[in-house]
Structure 1
Amino acid sequence: MPYPAYPEIESALLRHIHDEGGEVNADEIYFPLGAKLGLSKADMERSLDEVQGYGGSRPKWQNMVQWARNSLAKKQELLRPADGVARGVWKLTEKGTSRAAGMSPLPLIDPIAVYPDEVSGTVWEGARRSVLVNVYERNSEGRRKCIEHYGCQCAVCDMNFAERYGEHGKNFIHVHHLTPMASMGKSYQLDPIEDLRPVCPNCHAMLHRTDPPCSIEKLQSLMKKSL
């Protein structure tokens, strides 16, 4: 899809930082902001060379967001490192907070896309940086292999969305890491059959109510005790 106009990115960036509590780390901005504006992962990864024929290998989207950030700083709505904020942190000023509060909220990102252990899949897991970046950087291979093997039925409660909702629920399911991503090494080789399980969103949330997540077997036991 076409990239948003610069003023639209600037306004969205201001509101996004406001919605995140007024302060965010720079490396956690690009993917969630782009998703809220309707961009795909591919859109956000296209380089300046690919889009405009010059500029190098830096992503065009990153360049556009940096422009918006600099524009907000010039308007004294965003603090600069020289203002005492830590490098790599984007923090709103009182002026920026006031303007953002009067703006319409941005759309929410699909929770499936940002769930801490929801896997779009990749056979090789890279070093963990942040939940959002990790999720968006994965491809669909691990997820596909997991569902191909186990199907779309929840491994905890046996919920099947196609059976409950018909065609509307077909192929809908979360995928859960049995081994939390935080404990994976820098180049952990993911086995989609051994390491992943399909789970419904409710059971997925319950698995993550503890840190580390409880096991599927324990959650099943808790369900049986509550009946």
Structure 2
Amino acid sequence: MRLKSGKLAGATTLALSCLLTLTFVLTGCTPQTTEKAKPDPNQAFIDSFCKGEPDMTVTFPEAEFAKAKELQKQKKLDSAQKLLLDKLEDARKSARGTTQLGQYLTRLNNIFFERGNDTQAVKYGEIASKIFYDQPLAKRPIAPWFVNLHSYLGMSYERMGKYKEAELEFQKAIRIATNAPRAEVADDWMRLLYQRLAACFDAQKQPEKAKKVRESLKNLKRG
């Protein structure tokens, strides 16, 4: 029996449709999932600081790094921020993925915080944190750098109303400071951390946790 051309075309179309449907079911492929995922520009930015090797042909801006600290102490925050941002690319290239770059970004984080720019403070602070924790133990910075970074991240998150994130940062800072020599973390700073942590619990309507933190502060003893 011969099919008319119209019926043949219809049968062919139906067969192809069934075949494609079966292929998608068996392989899990759909036209949408076969498209390449678009790169995340934010992740690419983070990776540019954390991944890869330092470029030995570029000099780390040590003088500017030290000068920014002095400007920060003098409350010349605009000048300190500009100095660090102007040399950020040199710092990134010359010290990519190293503790030295993490310290540079920590200082930038501190200055952004003191200027009230919490978005930028968190942006660079989180990259610094990743760099620090990616280091082998022997190459990590001493405790005050960790305490500083977690403290400032916590205070930025608190000002942004992100109390859970702030809580976690303050807890990390307290834990590290507790195990550090007393000479490395001042008692006043420890008290500040406990006070800010309690305030975060207050903001999250967790009075019992806030009470325990304040009791711990009263009984705080350091060696």
TM category, shorter: under 0.3
More contact order relative to length (CA 8 Å, sep ≥ 6)? 1
Q: Radius of gyration: which is bigger?
A: 2
Length-normalised TM-score, structure 1: 0.23
